[in-house]
Amino acid sequence: MSLTLTVDGDRWRSHLRGVAEAHPGLVPVVKGNGYGFTPGRLARKSQWLGVDTIAVGTYEELPEVASRFDGSLLVLTPWRPFVADLAPELAGRVIHTVGRVEDVDALLTRQPGARLVLELLTSMKRHGFAARGLWDAADHLRRHRSARLEGVALHLPLAQGSHLGEVRRLMNDAVGAGLQQPGQGGLDTVWVSHLTATELTALRTSYADFTVRPRMGTDLWLGDRAALAVTATVLDVHEVERGDSFGYRGRTVPKAGHLLVVSGGTAHGIGLEAPTGGSSIKARAATLARGGLDAVGFVRSPFSIDDKQRLFAEPPHMQASMLFLPSGARVPTVGDEIDVRVRYTATTFDRIVLS
């Protein structure tokens, strides 16, 4: 009775191992909904993989992973003065990301022995220091002798051509800012995202003194889609005639067929898909002429039966969805499982079955 993620365990685990072996220093990212798997499960898998550090998105996510993974915990959202102090048992495990000069001083005043990485502003323009700010940050670090600088972090946009030029410029800024602090860990690590294997190799070659630590979520956890299957359960089937009314809004059925009630709704992250057949007036007129159901307002759903994507009879409900199956199509029976295409990062499953 559920929206289920079924994982081919052997295949998934061998993919995870392969990625970890190909990327020394890998930092699994376990934020958000845990890419569909939940952060807790990914924390345990990271422990199994044997990595020494994982990354969460927010401070609020720390408790769920801290008890399932015993290494270091990098928080990707930059620290701000309004972040609550860490529980003492976490303080030594957490690596803060810092992106503003004033926050270096504020954090180290509150937690003098804090572990931190300095984020550099990339072409993403999300968070981080520009070159000038790094000089000031280095100044602050010199004044807080027990601070533990764990490196610099770059959050790069998804690849549009090579990132290497930008990475080199930023690395030169960081080296030039005099962040090298004897006895304080120094600047010997760069944490990066979204670099290709070739770019990572080039970076390691150019900056041989540095440890390059790739943060990876999607390509790690979701990199082998064939290991994953998402299904919904058929909960009810109703034969309908043209003109029968149904649903929350009392719509009428445009032609004979079946209404299916299937598990999976807005609470799972199931949403409306783009209308079928293009949205131009001409395209809509063409579908109308063909008697297309989208022309009467039915919208494509992510559920498919017999490899054909089916239409929502009305927008998804909270935990279930109503589909319309025109007559002629094979009608599944209650209890059957049907395929669902989802965005894993936006989906909450009722059940995760890991073989």
Ligand X SMILES: *Cc1c(COP(=O)(O)O)cnc(C)c1O
Contact 294, 300 (CB under 8 A): yes
- Of 43, 76, 117, 240, the one binding ligand X (CB under 6 A) is 76
Distance in Å, CB of 347 to ligand X, minimum:
15
Residue 217 sits in the site that holds ligand X (CB under 6 A): yes
Residue 189 sits in the site that holds ligand X (CB under 6 A): no
- Of 33, 47, 218, 319, the one binding ligand X (CB under 6 A) is 218
Choose the binding region for ligand X from 38-46, 211-219, 237-245, 301-309 (rule: CB under 6 A): 211-219
- Of 19, 20, 29, 118, the one binding ligand X (CB under 6 A) is 29
Binding track, positions 280-309, relative to ligand X; x by CB under 6 A: ------------------------------
Residue 121 sits in the site that holds ligand X (CB under 6 A): no
Binding track, positions 141-180, relative to ligand X; x by CB under 6 A: --------------x-------------------------
Nearest residue (beta carbon) to ligand X: 217
Site size with ligand X, rule: CB under 6 A: 10
Q: Which residues bind ligand X (CB under 6 A)?
A: 29, 31, 76, 155, 193, 215-219
